[in-house]
Amino acid sequence: MTALVTLERVGFRYPGSARPALRDVSVTIDAGTVTGVTGLVGSGASTLLLVAGGFAPRLTGGALTGTRHLATERVGIVFATPWTQLTGLASTVLGEVAFGPASLGRPREAVLAAAERALRDLGVAHLAERDPATLSGGELQRVVVASVLAMAPDLLVLDDPAAELDPAGADGLYALLPSVAARGAAVLVATPDTERLARVADRVLALEDGRLVRAGPATAVLDDTDVARIARAAGCPAPLPLDVAAALGRIAR
């Protein structure tokens, strides 16, 4: 597999902060994979996304130590709050999603085709002519993700992307991530939603106090989900099921 991001002993400190947000993190993010990042608030998960995507310190300020190699400039990022991620310059959802490809100066037909495909992928094609300001938080977040996917990023970075979505919307969004990876992109997603992460992540990184404390397959790292704890208590042999769907599958077998 092709390594898109390589971090070697990377540390990061925000401007004005005495405490490093990341310490001595070494990790490789490969193309065609979904990598999950978990950790408590303040563990450095969001910072790891910003550093891996090349946004920190370029846009945030601060000091980076160690070595970072980012093999692409085509990086998309999605935050938890959709309202701050709109351009505010489009009167329709289609225009909002088309903003990115249009910025690259692609032909009008190609721009619209990319935007329409991204809207279809996110299941929001029916919203194309709506004013973004009239959408619910969940609809808007899917539009934001579509806006980023329309740019066909090599690296897609998502910071708790389902925070504003209802359970069905969150399921739909997470189900989309492996298909994005299957097109050759690397997906890096930070979330406290370990059950959904377990369904889609090829690998999970666990952070504590800015340090990478565990890395490996979801079944090895995410062994403390509610379902896994119940399965362990019930004497279920490893690998433990991490979510309800996996547990039901195990029972069915």
Partner 1 sequence: MIGYLPGRSSLHRAHPYTPLAVAAGLLFLAFAFRSPAAVWAVVVAAAAFAAAGGVLGAVLRPAAMLALPTWILLTVLHGLLGGPPHLALGPLALSAPGVERALVFGGRIAAILFAFLTALATVAPPRLVEAMTARGVPFGRIYLLVSTLTVVPRMRARVRQIIDAQQCRGLRIGGSPLARVRALGPLVVPLVLSALAEVDEQALALDVRGGSAAGRRTALAPPADHAGDRLVRWTVLVGVVAAYAWKFAGAGR
Binding site for partner 1 (CB under 8 A): 55, 59-60, 75-77, 79, 81, 84-91, 95, 98-108, 111-112, 144, 147-148, 151, 153
Nearest by Cα to 150 from 188, 102, 183, 186: 102
**Pairing status of strand 3-13 against strand 63-70:** antiparallel
3-state secondary structure 87-138: CCCCCCHHHHHHHHHHHCCCCHHHHHHHHHHHHHHCCCHHHCCCCHHHCCHH
Q: Decide whether 119 or 221 has the Cβ nearer to partner 1.
A: 119
Residue 241: φ, ψ to 5°: -70, 140
Nearest approach in angstroms of CB 91 to partner 1 is: 4
Let me know how many helices (H) and strands (E) the chain has, helices first.
Answer: 9, 9
Please calculate the CA angle 180-159-192 and round it to the nearest 5 degrees: 105
> Is the preceding peptide bond at 239 cis, omega within 30 degrees of 0?
yes
Nearest approach in angstroms of CB 79 to partner 1 is: 6
Nearest approach in angstroms of CB 113 to partner 1 is: 12
Q: Tell me the H-state helices in 156-243.
A: 167-182, 194-200, 218-221, 226-233
Nearest approach in angstroms of CB 139 to partner 1 is: 17
Nearest approach in angstroms of CB 112 to partner 1 is: 7
DSSP for residue 202 = S
By three-state DSSP, how is residue 207 classified? strand
CA distance 171 to 246: 14
Nearest approach in angstroms of CB 141 to partner 1 is: 12
Q: Decide whether 67 or 87 has the Cβ nearer to partner 1.
A: 87
Q: Decide whether 187 or 247 has the Cβ nearer to partner 1.
A: 187
